[in-house]
C-alpha cells in the first residue's frame, strides 16, 4: 500500500472513531439528564395549557387548531415522558428524546400562536 492510501485510511478511521465517541458521549449525557429534560418539557406544556385557559373567550374559536394540537400532545405524554429507573432513562436517551423533539417543536408553535393571539387582542 502506498503512503497516501495509508494516510487516507488512518484519517477515515479517526473520523469514524470521533463520531462514535461523540454519539456515546451524547447518549450518556441524555441518560444522566433524562429527568431534568423531561421536567422542563412538562413544565413548558403545563404553562401553555394554563395560558390557553386564560385566553379571552372571544379568542377561543380562533384557537381551535392550537387547542387540538395541545390535546394531541397530551395524549402522547404518558408514552414519551415516563421516566422511572435506569431502563426508562436509557429509553429516553436512545429513543424517546428523538420523539420528544417533535413535541417540543409543536409546543413552540402553540406558544407562538398564543403570543400572536394575545398581541392581536391587545392592539
The pLDDT tens digits of the residues spanning 43-81 come to 888 898 888 888 888 887 888 888 888 888 888 766 666
* Domain co-membership, 49 together with 103: yes
Burial 56-89 (b: 16+ CB within 10 A, else e): eeeeeeebeebbebbeebeeeeeebbebeeeebb
Residues 65, 47: Cα–Cα separation, whole Å? 18
pTM for the model stands at 0.69
* Domain co-membership, 26 together with 52: no
* Domain co-membership, 12 together with 42: no
Assign 1 a pLDDT band (cuts: 50, 70, 90).
low
Q: Angle at Cα 33 formed by Cα 30 and Cα 35, nearest 5°?
A: 115
Answer yes or no: are the C-beta atoms of 94 and 27 closer than 8 Å: yes
* Domain co-membership, 1 together with 48: no
* Domain co-membership, 62 together with 99: yes
| Tally of domains within the chain | 2
Domain of 113 in residue numbering reads as 33-121
* Domain co-membership, 72 together with 107: yes
* Domain co-membership, 60 together with 116: yes
* Domain co-membership, 90 together with 38: yes
Q: Is the dihedral of CA 36, 97, 76, 74 positive or negative?
A: positive
* Domain co-membership, 71 together with 81: yes
* Domain co-membership, 81 together with 59: yes
Cell of 87: 431502563
* Domain co-membership, 51 together with 15: no
| Whether residue 21 has pLDDT greater than 70 | no
Amino acid at each position: 500500500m502506498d503512503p497516501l492510501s495509508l494516510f487516507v485510511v488512518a484519517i477515515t478511521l479517526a473520523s469514524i472513531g470521533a463520531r462514535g465517541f461523540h454519539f456515546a458521549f451524547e447518549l450518556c449525557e441524555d441518560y444522566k439528564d433524562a429527568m431534568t429534560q423531561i421536567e422542563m418539557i412538562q413544565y413548558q406544556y403545563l404553562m401553555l395549557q394554563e395560558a390557553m385557559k386564560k385566553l379571552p373567550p372571544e379568542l377561543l374559536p380562533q384557537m381551535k387548531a392550537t387547542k387540538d394540537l395541545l390535546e394531541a400532545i397530551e395524549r402522547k405524554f404518558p408514552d414519551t415522558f415516563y421516566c422511572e429507573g435506569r431502563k426508562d432513562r436509557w429509553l429516553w436517551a436512545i429513543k424517546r428524546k428523538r420523539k420528544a423533539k417533535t413535541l417540543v417543536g409543536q409546543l413552540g408553535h402553540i406558544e407562538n400562536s398564543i403570543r400572536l393571539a394575545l398581541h392581536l387582542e391587545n392592539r
